[in-house]
Amino acid sequence: MDWLVDAYKVSENLEPKINQLHKKMDDICLNILDLGCGTSDVASVLLKECKTAVNIHCVDYSEGALQWQKGLLSELNQNHGNLLSNYWLVMADVCHLPFKNKFFHAIIDKGTIDSLLKSRDGQQLAEESMKEIFRVLHPEGNLWQITDEDPDLRLLFLQTVQNNTQKRYTSSFEILLSDSMTDYFLYTVTEDALGKS
Q: Is residue 87 part of a domain?
A: yes
Q: Is 79 part of any domain?
A: yes
Does 43 map to a domain?
A: yes
The pTM (predicted TM-score) of the whole model is 0.93
> Which residue in 146, 151, 102, 164 sits closest to 14, CA to CA?
146
Question: Is 196 a member of any domain?
Answer: no
Task: Name, in order, each residue with C-beta under 8 angstroms of 169's C-beta and a sequence gap of 6 or more.
Answer: 134, 158, 162, 189, 190, 191, 192, 195
Report CA dihedral (8, 38, 110, 191) to the nearest 10 degrees. Answer: -120
| DSSP 3-state percent helix, strand, coil across the chain (nearest 5) | 35, 30, 35
Number of domains in the chain: 1
Q: Identify residue 26 by its one-letter amino acid code.
A: D
d(CA 164, CA 131): 9
Residue 86 located in a structural domain: yes
What values do phi and psi take at 53, rounded to 5?
-70, 125
54-105 tens-digit pLDDT: 999 999 999 999 999 999 888 887 788 999 999 999 999 999 999 999 999 9
**DSSP label at residue 58:** E
Contact 125, 158 (CB under 8 A): no
* Domain that residue 12 falls in: 7-191
Measured in residues, the chain has a length of: 197
Q: Residue 179: its pLDDT value, please?
A: 87
Neighbour count for residue 132 (Cβ, 10 Å): 20
Q: What is the pLDDT of residue 180?
A: 84
Please give the DSSP secondary-structure letter assigned to residue 149: -
> How much of the chain, in percent, has pLDDT values that exceed 70?
96
pLDDT for res 193: 61
CA 25 remoteness from chain centre: 18
Read off the CATH number of the domain in which 85 is found: 3.40.50.150
Instruction: Decide if 110 is inside a domain.
Output: yes
Tens digit of each residue's pLDDT (9 = 90 or more) over 37-59: 999 999 999 999 999 999 999 99
Distance CA 18, CA 53 (A): 9
Does pLDDT of 196 surpass 70?
no
What is the enclosing helix (H) or strand (E) of 87?
A: strand 86-91
Residue 49 falls inside a structural domain: yes
Tens digit of each residue's pLDDT (9 = 90 or more) over 12-30: 999 999 999 999 888 899 9
Question: Does any domain span residue 2?
Answer: no
